[in-house]
A and B are shown apart, each in its own frame.
Chain A
């Protein structure tokens, strides 16, 4: 009680006269300014850190691309791009790998684009909030989060063994199709959301059914956005390694073109992995490894850049 009383006294008792005289208007102003400056300085320091963080990301991208260009450009030549690997993969080109990657990624999109677009149409145009929608969304989110090596295991167990496809283009493309499905669904949904509701209402008011509206009005309007998503899906499929390791990829295939969709193929990402870790002469084939990595980066980043530019143009148009 005593302590409380004394502290109360301190608060309410008027300050000694000398002190009141000392603190003038300028002092208060100065103190306020000091605090203000300190807050400003804190802000400046923190903002500098944020700026550095953002710059680190760009720097990382540049460093990786720089090293690939510096060491890989010299390896790239017409023969490198059009020849088959020779002398136990220590010389020659990567043509079969490029073809394999093209086959696999287009095969994957062939599977995932129709299913993905249809899923997105259901989610955006038909579904009403509720338990079923929540389960489907949870399924899609979790599918997007499944590790790529687990997709590989699934592809091996289901497509390769259970459906007896063997290690083949078909099994690899189907596995990659499952991986790209969430990518396609996400970007298609985004594209459908940008179609103004007035379009749908106008079409429905003219007597069109829901399906006619979607087919004739909504889909054409969303098409560029959907294609952007397809490009992103292609690039994702082209860069994946772990899922094709057990389902499609071969160490070495002597022919330039695969004979059927049930044959094994070489692919760019797997070729890099093989050359870098299990080749006959790992050090001697470094230029080949850099060259292959450069081709893969060029392919994937090129597609992504295309999609990014296309998308930003679309957004500007909509505004």
Chain B
């Protein structure tokens, strides 16, 4: 989750530790401790968007061709997308290294 913006001093930390900027989680790489990642098989994908609906981190977005792609900066590898996919088009693959 390392991001230089988060490293504040006691004088510069926000009042009461509040988050004053809504949606600022997008500023932080929250997916770097993932142990597995989703891989989409475009042959099987019907572009239904269930992965996008169920992803708890809103890591999915739609590309120009209408496929849903995951942003690995935010994907925590929970596997909900793979579980929900009605066509079993998503496989969870262990992260290497």
Q: Do A and B bind each other?
A: no
**A binding-site residues for B, Cβ under 8 Å:** none
